[in-house]
Amino acid sequence: MEMMETTAAAAAAVEGGVVVIREYEAERDRMGVEAVERRCEVGPSGGGMSLFTDLLGDPLCRVRHSPPFLMLVAEVICGSESREIVGLVRGCIKTVACGTRKPHRGSSTTTAPSPIYSKVAYLLGLRVSPAHR
């Protein structure tokens, strides 16, 4: 992947364990990611406002069709075998038009202005388990 050249995970110590941030691995992380999504759902609490995300069994469904996409998971490691996914970030890079460039002085007057393109980072989802906020 272009966005992340190394596969080394970033780690930080927290109370009760170590937080490791690494790239999503479908066969290993799917169940944990779905559990975090369920814990982060916001339902009706009398105000009538609700937020529900149905991933249809595919945690990458929101970023899969954006060519340079990436999903990172934050995992707390306690002891030798206890691992829990406590957060995730979905993102991609998109090319967007951000204005036009005027034609050069020497060009004909019928030349249309050319668009200016930029690459932007686009975060499509940030989830943190309520117990770890």
Q: What is the pLDDT of residues 16-73, one digit of tens each?
A: 688 899 999 989 998 998 888 888 776 655 555 555 565 566 666 666 666 688 889 9
Q: Evaluate if residue 102 carries a pLDDT over 70.
A: yes
For the residues 117-129, what does the mean pLDDT come to?
Answer: 86
- Rg for the chain (alpha carbons), in Å? 21
Question: What is residue 47's predicted lDDT score, i.e. its pLDDT?
Answer: 59
Beta strand ranges found along 10-132 (DSSP E):
10-14, 17-23, 69-78, 82-101, 114-128
Specify the pTM.
Answer: 0.63
User: Could you give the C-alpha distances from 12 to 4, 7, 78, 133, in angstroms and in order?
Assistant: 19, 16, 12, 15
